[in-house]
Amino acid sequence: MTARRSDDTRSAAGRTLFVLGAFDESHPSLTLSQIGQRAHLPLPTAHRLVAELVGARLVTRSPEGAYSIGARLWRLGLLSAPTTLREVAQPHLQDLVATTGHTVHLAVLEASRAMVVERLSGTRTVSTRHRPGSLLPLHCTAVGKALLSYASDDVVRDVMASLTQHTPFTITDPRVLSRQLLEVHRTGVARSAQEHRLGVSSLAVPVFGDGDSVVAAVAVIAPLTSPRITGSVPPMRAAAGAIAEGLRRQRLAAEHE
């Protein structure tokens, strides 16, 4: 009986995660039927789960009947490691924007994609759709390549097995991408030129944790014709080093509390 209840609990938790996963940056507000469709759940099941989430203040319901993520879930999200990383990194990213004038991304590895943790725009920049929480491909963005070059073999295999083409310049040959990842290790800089979006160039550097582990990556995104982007590497390295040092100090402070 205990094992059966455990299975049911896991199943219920999984269905709840499907409901929460129905929301994303393109679908911040959904009707009940839309939640059921996107979560692949029968409408009565979706209704019951959504009612429980509303009762727990994890989901909120508008007077018009639309549902969205609740403030309580947002507050819980502030306790996550990416939020801590964002707080440590933000002043250094602001300095980087001031120095380069370009859009800056901070991202972490999330399964087989890069999740944007912070995005700051400069005055000599290109517009970007990618807000904090957005997911980017690893194989065709500079920030993604910086993360992928230090990822586990399992992640690399998953990415290599599905090299989706986003533009005519996207690398879809695993051998070419493998050579690029080796070059990232050699130089410490990842590059992308129109591979994810036409007319856009980006550079990224890793943020190291303990040893050779990489906890994040910092990227500068600029118009393809910008003459300044190659000069962004030294301040990018300085920002990544400052972020790594800030995380180290925070970790040591927590250990001594």
Q: What is the pLDDT of residue 10?
A: 41
Q: What is the pLDDT of residue 186?
A: 94
Tokens of 42: 């029968």
28/6 Cα distance (integer angstroms): 32
The single residue listed with the structure tokens 């989901």 is 59
Q: What is the pLDDT of residue 185?
A: 92
Q: What is the pLDDT of residue 34?
A: 93
User: DSSP secondary-structure letter at 176?
Assistant: H
Contact 20, 76 (CB under 8 A): no
Neighbour tally for 64: CB within 10 Å: 7
Q: Which helix (H) or strand (E) holds 109?
A: strand 103-110
Phi/psi of residue 249, each to 5°? -65, -40
User: DSSP secondary-structure letter at 4?
Assistant: H
Contact 106, 116 (CB under 8 A): yes
List 219's β-bridge partners, or say none: 105, 204
Q: What is the pLDDT of residue 2?
A: 36
State the 10-residue block means of pLDDT for the chain, 257 residues long: 38 79 83 91 90 88 86 65 80 94 91 89 67 87 96 94 95 96 95 93 93 90 81 94 90 73
Half-sphere exposure of 42 (CA within 13 A, CB side): 3
142/22 Cα distance (integer angstroms): 28
Phi/psi of residue 232, each to 5°? -80, -15
Half-sphere exposure of 144 (CA within 13 A, CB side): 25
Could you tell me which CATH class the domain 2-76 is placed in? Answer: mainly alpha
Q: Which helix (H) or strand (E) holds 111?
A: none
Burial of 153 (0-12, 13-18, 19+ CB in 10 A): exposed
User: DSSP secondary-structure letter at 61?
Assistant: E
Could you tell me which CATH class the domain 81-255 is placed in? Answer: alpha beta
Residue closest to 72 by CA, chosen among 87, 86, 89, 56: 56
Q: The pTM is what?
A: 0.73
Instruction: Parse the chain into domains and list their residue ranges.
Output: 2-76, 81-255
Tell me the per-residue pLDDT of 138-161, one tens digit each, with 9 for 90 and over: 999 999 999 999 999 999 999 999
What is the helix, strand, coil percentage profile of the chain, to 5? Answer: 50, 20, 30
183/171 Cα distance (integer angstroms): 15
